[in-house]
Amino acid sequence: ARQDLAGQDLAGRRIVISAGGTREPLDPVRYLGNRSSGRQGVALAEAAAARGASVILVAAHLEVPPPAGVDLRPVSTALELQAAVEAAAATADVVIMAAAVADYRPAERRADKIKKDEAGDTFRLDLVKNPDILAGLARAVPRPAVIVGFAAETEADPAARLELGRQKVARKGCDYLVLNRVGWSQGFATESNDIVVLDRRGDIVNEASGTKLSVANCILDVIVQAGTPDHH
Ligand code: CTP
Ligand code: CA
């Protein structure tokens, strides 16, 4: 039993993790979605719970089973994810936004199935911007002590990718940004991952390459080093 206490460096920390990909409905049978499997967010939740944290997992369409021992909050759309994350964040020390949130949603959600005959050979769809959940959390007063964003960039050149990450962390106002390379065969729906963690200044504070569980522990190491908040 003594040994079970070893490595519990997140004991007493309350961590909210969003995972998966949102779906934005067009009509009762169709949606706009993305290719996020939820594996990295689930690995983070699993690793954080194993290190003693109390974990709320806000889960949008996971393709993998959620870990045991976490408080699971299923959501579908970006607006639902926002409501769930903001409610959970009110009493959290740490928020990690690993979910792939739709940037836009259909301007209207049709009550009945859209018929092919409504339009000609092209179909135009009006989309409206979703709120930026991460930027909103970072701006809130009071706000969780540590806020971590993810950026999946397809830019192939490492220096240019890093620059995109630096700009993104500044724009979002988050404390850390996990910069991830994605492509058709990398990042999404894979078992492994390749990341760097940037701080608010855009400096690299940690990096990992390997399984999504080892990447998760690399990100959690940064959070542990950031320290425990004195108060909430
Ligand atoms: N994110 C969010 N709310 C959104 C869009 C994204 O909270 N409406 C979060 C993601 O969960 C991720 C981070 O912001 O942690 C970065 O997402 P990304 O899509 O890379 O950033 P965007 O600002 O949407 O920029 P772009 O898609 O144009 O690269
Ligand atoms: Ca986006």
pLDDT in tens, the chain (232 residues): 444 566 899 999 999 999 999 999 999 999 999 999 999 999 999 999 999 999 999 999 999 999 999 999 999 999 999 999 999 999 999 999 999 999 999 999 999 999 999 888 999 999 999 999 999 999 999 999 999 999 988 898 889 999 999 999 999 999 999 998 766 556 666 677 889 999 999 999 999 999 999 999 999 999 999 987 654 4
Q: Which residues line ligand 1 (CB under 6 A)?
A: 78, 97, 99, 101, 103, 130, 132-134, 149-152
Q: Residue 29 in contact with residue 199, Cβ under 8 Å? A: no
**Alpha carbon 28 to its chain's center:** 26
Atom of ligand 1 nearest to the CA of 135: 7
Gyration radius of the chain over CA positions: 18
**Distances from the Cα of 58 to the Cα of 19, 88, 150, 226, 228, angstroms:** 6, 9, 15, 23, 23
If you measure from the C-alpha of residue 200 to the centroid of ligand 2, how many angstroms do you get, rounded to a whole number? 19
Q: Whose CA is nearest to atom 17 of ligand 1?
A: 151
What φ, ψ does residue 171 adopt, rounded to 5°?
A: -65, -40
If you measure from the C-alpha of residue 11 to the centroid of ligand 2, how many angstroms do you get, rounded to a whole number? 32
Reported in sequence order, the residue ranges of the chain that DSSP labels E, i.e. its strands, are 14-20, 24-27, 30-32, 54-60, 71-75, 94-97, 104-106, 127-129, 146-153, 176-181, 192-199, 204-211
Query: Which of 134, 147, 172, 175 to probe ligand 1 with, by most ligand atoms within 8 A of CB?
Result: 134
Q: Find out whether 131 is annotated in a ligand binding site.
A: yes
CA distance 65 to 48: 16
pLDDT of residue 100: 98
Q: Which ligand is nearest to the CA of 182?
A: 1
pLDDT of residue 180: 87
Helix (H, G, I), strand (E, B) or coil at 100: strand
Q: Whose CA is nearest to atom 8 of ligand 1?
A: 132
Q: Which ligand is nearest to the CA of 40?
A: 1
21, β-bridge pairs: 100
CA atoms within 13 A on the CB side of 7: 10
If you measure from the C-alpha of residue 226 to the centroid of ligand 2, how many angstroms do you get, rounded to a whole number? 26
pLDDT of residue 109: 96
Determine how many CB atoms are found less than 10 A away from the CB of residue 122.
5
Q: Find out whether 133 is annotated in a ligand binding site.
A: yes
pLDDT of residue 158: 86
CA distance 130 to 140: 17
Active site (annotated) includes residue 193: no
What φ, ψ does residue 135 adopt, rounded to 5°?
A: -65, -35
pLDDT of residue 3: 44
